[in-house]
Amino acid sequence: MRRKTLAWHVGLVCAWLILGMTMVAHGETDVGRTVRTWANLIEQAGELGLPTGFLRDIDPGFVTVTFEDLRTYAAEYHPEDHRMILNLRLSFNNAGGALMDVDRMTHHDVSLLYHELLHAWLDYLFNGPDPGALSPRASRVLAFAREQLHCHYRFVRITPIRQRRETEMRFLSEEDAWEVLNETWAVFVGWQIWTKLEQHREAGRIGPWTDVLFEEWAARLARANTSGALLGYYEPDEPEERRVARKRFIAPSNGLTPEGAALLLDVVLEEPDNVVARGKLVINDTQDTSEEKLVCD
């Protein structure tokens, strides 16, 4: 079990995140309210046209959500005790007791919420009470994630200085590799949610795809993947490395894989087959091939 914090870092942008399964406020836990709140989140998200299927995989009692006056990060997820910490601003009336309504959040906030929810979902897949009881699609994701952790997110290149192209090789600890996969996938899910909300800004809810939206989305995805916007990172476990840099960004050559993008678009984001296929193609066509692939077995 990892002991680190997965934190969604948004630079100077002060944002945060949302809702939970077990809401803890002022030291007390109200399981009944929690379950209602989780059900509310799913209902509200569904009304906005957001994906909710993966949220139903999670036992509402698995994750504890608290609100704090966070300063360093927008939100934090602590796998060691399945705890999501959201900025107070995401709570109703800033009171720290309940999540604010999803339709009152900015698109950025909703995307951050989904980023954290993806962490919770992956935590549940890996560390939930009964992995044997996972749905077939969740099991499929877990198997694929384990495969990616074996090599693609384990023996990696990083960019020590993000603005430069130079890379260095690292063989990551299991915990760091898990963090890179977590962040890479959560960044992508957050990006997709934000992009679709922006595309449907006028309607106020996400509607069906049109040819125009489809092409615009594909172009945005290509730009995001080539600009580095979809890259994951980790906070090094190794003390010496940690002394040099608190956060390491993965190099584009170890970024989101076409297969990973397709799986997330399908299972988590509930996109239709043509979107899944196009997303996979775009990531494949825009991935960095300037460096030789690292080989591991």
Q: Would you tell me which residues interact with Zn ion (CB under 5 A)?
A: 6, 8, 183, 186
Separation between Cα atoms, residue 17 and residue 66, nearest integer Å = 10
DSSP category for residue 99: B
The nearest distance, CB 186 to Zn ion, in angstroms, is 5
Residue 17 or 251 having the CB closest to Zn ion: 17
The separation between CA 245 and the C-alpha centre of its own chain, rounded to angstroms, equals 22
Residue 8 or 16 having the CB closest to Zn ion: 8
Separation between Cα atoms, residue 185 and residue 191, nearest integer Å = 10
The nearest distance, CB 235 to Zn ion, in angstroms, is 11
The nearest distance, CB 240 to Zn ion, in angstroms, is 24
- In the bound complex, which residue of the shown chain has the CB atom lying closest to Zn ion? 8
Hey, what are 201's tokens?
A: 């800004």
Q: How many CB atoms lie within 10 A of CB 77?
A: 27
Separation between Cα atoms, residue 219 and residue 213, nearest integer Å = 10
Closest CA to 193 of 45, 30, 63: 45
Closest CA to 209 of 281, 114, 273: 273
The nearest distance, CB 207 to Zn ion, in angstroms, is 28
82: left (phi over 0), alpha (psi -120 to 50) or beta: left
Residue 250 or 275 having the CB closest to Zn ion: 250
Residue 186 or 268 having the CB closest to Zn ion: 186
Residue 43 or 174 having the CB closest to Zn ion: 174
The nearest distance, CB 36 to Zn ion, in angstroms, is 26
3-class secondary-structure state, position 252: helix
The nearest distance, CB 112 to Zn ion, in angstroms, is 9
3-class secondary-structure state, position 195: helix
Closest CA to 186 of 9, 44, 23: 9
CB contact at 8 A, 185 and 122: yes
Separation between Cα atoms, residue 59 and residue 222, nearest integer Å = 35
Residue 8 or 194 having the CB closest to Zn ion: 8
Residue 42 or 180 having the CB closest to Zn ion: 180
Separation between Cα atoms, residue 32 and residue 18, nearest integer Å = 18
The nearest distance, CB 145 to Zn ion, in angstroms, is 15
CA dist 285 → 215, 247, 295 (Å)? 15, 28, 21
The nearest distance, CB 75 to Zn ion, in angstroms, is 8
Residue 176 or 278 having the CB closest to Zn ion: 176
